[in-house]
Amino acid sequence: MDNLTLNEPEVASKSRVMEVARRFTETLAETAQYRALEETYQAFRQDGEAQAAYTALQTKQQTLRMVTMLNAVGEEDRLALKQLEDQFYGLKSVQNYIQAQETLISMCQEIGDILSDAVGLNFGLACRVGGCCG
């Protein structure tokens, strides 16, 4: 095995790691999945109805934040919040954006699995500290 045992990881310089990471992100940004996310995000941002629904939902969530933490939300407020959520998530631009996001996340998880297998390090577990991966 070219004089390298599995317990002796090869260490790359910081500049090499940064160069490979930059090339990886450039390549990722060229994928159909990433482009779809960008396009659906722009469509969502330009959809006036979606923006109004988002603002209404956020406003209601903020007004209920403390009451929710105390688990004291009344049925009327709960129904109003559910109606705003249904309205927001029922919009086509929102659904398209969420689907594109889920597709990109799935692809990134697959890439992470491939990289993990190749280098013997579970990237998903390594990233969980920040709560962003896996």
pTM: 0.75
Q: Can you give the pLDDT at residue 129?
A: 52
Q: Can you give the pLDDT at residue 53?
A: 98
Q: Can you give the pLDDT at residue 10?
A: 66
CA–CA dist 128, 71 (Å, integer): 28
Per-run averaged pLDDT (10 residues), the chain, 134 residues: 53 84 93 97 98 97 88 91 97 98 94 83 64 50
Among candidate residues 123, 52, 33, the one with its CA nearest the CA of residue 94: 52
